[in-house]
Structure 1
Amino acid sequence: MEKLKDFAQIVSEAQRGELVFPTSVNAALSLQMTLADPDCHDENVIRKLLAEPILAARAVALANSAVFRSNGAALATGVRTAVMRLGYRNLYSLTAAMVVRQFGARIRDPQLRIRAEQLWKYTAHVAALAYVIAGRITRVEPDTALFAGIMHEVGGFYLLGRADAIPGLLDDPEDWMGAAQEIIAREIMKKLQVPEPVALAIVSLRGGAVGIPPEGLRDTLLVARYLCPVPSPLPQPQDHVLARTAALASYIEEHPQVAALLDEAAGQAKSMSAALLV
């Protein structure tokens, strides 16, 4: 009963907009605001990136991944080259990744920390797969798919962080999976100013069935989750998982050209996700 009260309190706080964010996300949020400014200049972006060494290193690593370093492009050895190659929208997604990751960065409980690290590995792979699948299969804007992939488990990261202060909070999935989890995720995305079409695609993932053929942002994320080689540490309703994977598996088997594209996507995404994990 106490855990149910604790969780109800967290949901109530989220609905009132009283979310507990780690102070370490402030720098990344500041950079996001800069990138979202239509009058933003490269020099300002570069200066802010250089002030955050971890974020700067990830930008350079991502710029050198197979997806962005194509056609024999030279190795990016500095932030300026990375900014030019990635563009502001992909840098925005990279800063979003830092924000999401920080929710689990200060977890003290060893088991919860392991789950948070596993969730980040899973998220990075899904985001990278979504980026490649969007351009090759579902014809969604790849930059949007990358951002959505990074944000799609933000509610899980938030709850893992809160569970560090409330032992046993997530022991019973039936207590927090479903509508309550969606409320928390939606309020966090609102706080982080995630565009409504992206937020809608994310909250509709639970129990969603992949369209045949796959199209749109939600299907992009569902296919990426299906292909992801890293398991999520968070439980999922098995009946929904089996239903959507069976339909998608049949579609891929019947369309060899799609299977070939997805294999290529998986290879490119591996390099890209490694950069996000730096």
Structure 2
Amino acid sequence: MSSKEYFQLVSDFARELTKGDISLPSFPEVVLRIRKLLEKDDVLIEQVSGAVSTDPVLVSRLLVFANSSHHNPAGVRIESLDVAISRLGFELVKNTAVSLAIKQIALAEQHKDIAPQMRAVWQRSMQLAAMSSVVAARKRGLDKETAFLCGLLHQVGKLYILTRSKDYPALLADPEQFDVLADDWHPKVGKSIVESWNFPDEVVRTLEPDEHLSDFTHEDATLVDVVYVAGQLLKFEDNDDDGAAVEALLSEPAATRIGIAPENLAGLRTAYNEKLSAVREALTT
């Protein structure tokens, strides 16, 4: 890709961010209804079930999730949607709905010419969501389902960048250059998208962890800490590296605030693999 084309694409991103024109397709109506329902303090299972039942794919995924070994170790067969929702909890139901919506965006037919790249981002999103969930579970006061959602949404800016890069085939043909572009721009692009979807500020902040990480160890752990640490741990998983680099991460303030120590790593890895397996089982049709 020529420097002129690269500059043009970067200029386009800057202009779109300034104008607020960054957007992916809207979430399906069922996701919006579920989110709105769960904002109420007195919502009933029957109300959530009624909203979910309008989407057969979501119904089937929730039943698979509820019957998975991760959420149903006793193996008692669940066939009722109401029982499945009761077993999983409202937050997990919401996260499953959001997960399916992101998957549909990533694997949409109109993006078939960049399907491998879109699928790779989707797979990484599931990994980061699973790792964020198990990292958050290490610290009292952090909600693991909200952490899952943060991890799931963290890569959404890359989906947009991929769709915009279809007009620049030379960039897509150069994975190294594309990765540089995506790493530089996906946090701000993703933040704009997640804001447009009206997610809470605590979720939005995790899209730009470098902007919100603190160097002070005495502060309370945040979801920003969780997503940052989860992302770093995944890099070590990719490289099978448990050495000095991992020790350096665990000495960082974010990991210290969460309370992750070397003796926790084996259990954390086991929990991550179990969570990721359950998520893949539930979301793979």
Taking structure 1 as the reference length, the TM-score comes to 0.76
The CA distance in 2 between the partners of 1:264 and 1:212, in whole Å, is 27
Q: 1:210 to 1:55 in 2, by over 3 A?
A: farther
Q: Deviation digits for residues 188-218 of structure 1, max 9, x if unmatched? A: 1111122212221331159979998994323
The CA distance in 1 between the partners of 2:207 and 2:105, in whole Å, is 18
The CA distance in 2 between the partners of 1:276 and 1:119, in whole Å, is 18
Counterpart secondary structure, 2:24:
coil
The CA distance in 2 between the partners of 1:35 and 1:268, in whole Å, is 27
2:50 corresponds to which of 47, 52, 61: 47
Q: Deviation digits for residues 101-120 of structure 1, max 9, x if unmatched? A: 23322254556211211221
Q: 1:243 to 1:8 in 2, by over 3 A?
A: farther
CA contact (8 A) 1:138 1:215 kept: no
Q: Deviation digits for residues 73-103 of structure 1, max 9, x if unmatched? A: 6233232222111222222222221232233
The CA distance in 2 between the partners of 1:107 and 1:165, in whole Å, is 17
Counterpart secondary structure, 1:136:
coil
Give the 5 Å matches for 1:54-203: 54-70=57-73, 72=74, 74-106=76-108, 108=110, 110=112, 112-136=114-138, 140-164=142-166, 167-168=169-170, 171=174, 172-173=177-178, 174-178=180-184, 180-203=185-208
Equivalent position amino acid for 2:206 in 1:
A
The CA distance in 1 between the partners of 2:113 and 2:217, in whole Å, is 39
Q: 1:139 to 1:43 in 2, by over 3 A?
A: closer
Q: 1:230 to 1:261 in 2, by over 3 A?
A: closer
CA contact (8 A) 2:212 2:224 kept: no
2:225 — aligned with what?
Answer: 219
Q: 1:99 to 1:210 in 2, by over 3 A?
A: farther
Structure with the larger RCO, 1 or 2 (CA within 8 Å, 6+ apart): 1
The CA distance in 2 between the partners of 1:264 and 1:88, in whole Å, is 25
The CA distance in 1 between the partners of 2:16 and 2:168, in whole Å, is 15
2:249 — aligned with what?
Answer: 248
CA contact (8 A) 2:247 2:262 kept: no
Q: Deviation digits for residues 220-265 of structure 1, max 9, x if unmatched? A: 2234334448989xxxxxxxxx99645137899x955313321331
The CA distance in 1 between the partners of 2:24 and 2:68, in whole Å, is 30
2:11 — aligned with what?
Answer: 8
Identity of aligned residues (%): 21
Equivalent position amino acid for 1:12 in 2:
R
Counterpart secondary structure, 1:103:
helix
Uncovered stretches (5+) of structure 2, i.e. residues with no partner: none
Q: CA RMSD in A?
A: 3.8
The CA distance in 1 between the partners of 2:40 and 2:163, in whole Å, is 30
Offset of 1:133 from its aligned partner? 2.5
Matched residue count: 267
The CA distance in 1 between the partners of 2:160 and 2:99, in whole Å, is 13
